[in-house]
Amino acid sequence: MGYELRVVRESPIALADLAKAAERAGFELRESDEIVARHGDGAHPVGAWRGEVVGEPGSDWQVAQLVRLSAALGARLVGEDGEVYALRDGVVEVLADGAATELGKYDEMIGAGPAAWTA
């Protein structure tokens, strides 16, 4: 199991709300409760519904997609250690301990596609 990111908002996210927001934002919610996004000719997993939206990203593309899904839900993307992933001025940032760290430009992260990180 990898590092888990959760989509969190003040009011609980209902499955019906997720389905509507996901469709409007171009995601697909499958019957298996997997959330996928398209890249090229394929659909790639971004996260899953487990009573809340969770993801275990393996690429910058997946992080950027989770940030986008969070925004579509009016929510925040939060890591296991309480850090918040956000999009500001076209840049995906991690906010932790009062400091912002740039992960990368959103467009570049999306353009790179879902290729997995390498060790």
> How many structural domains comprise the chain?
1
Q: What is the mean pLDDT of the chain?
A: 93
Token readout for 117 is 């990180």
- The reply to whether 117 falls in a domain is no
Tell me the pLDDT tens digit for each residue of 36-58. 999 988 999 999 999 999 999 99
pLDDT band of 118, cuts 50, 70, 90: low
Of 31, 28, 26, 69, which Cα lies nearest the Cα of 45? Answer: 28
Full domain range(s) for residue 62: 5-112
pLDDT of residue 40: 86
pLDDT of residue 41: 87
Tell me the pLDDT tens digit for each residue of 90-108. 999 999 999 999 999 999 9
Q: ∠ at Cα 110 (109, 116), nearest 5°?
A: 70
Cα–Cα dist 39/62, whole Å: 11
- The reply to whether 38 falls in a domain is yes
Of 25, 4, 29, which Cα lies nearest the Cα of 14? Answer: 29
- The reply to whether 118 falls in a domain is no
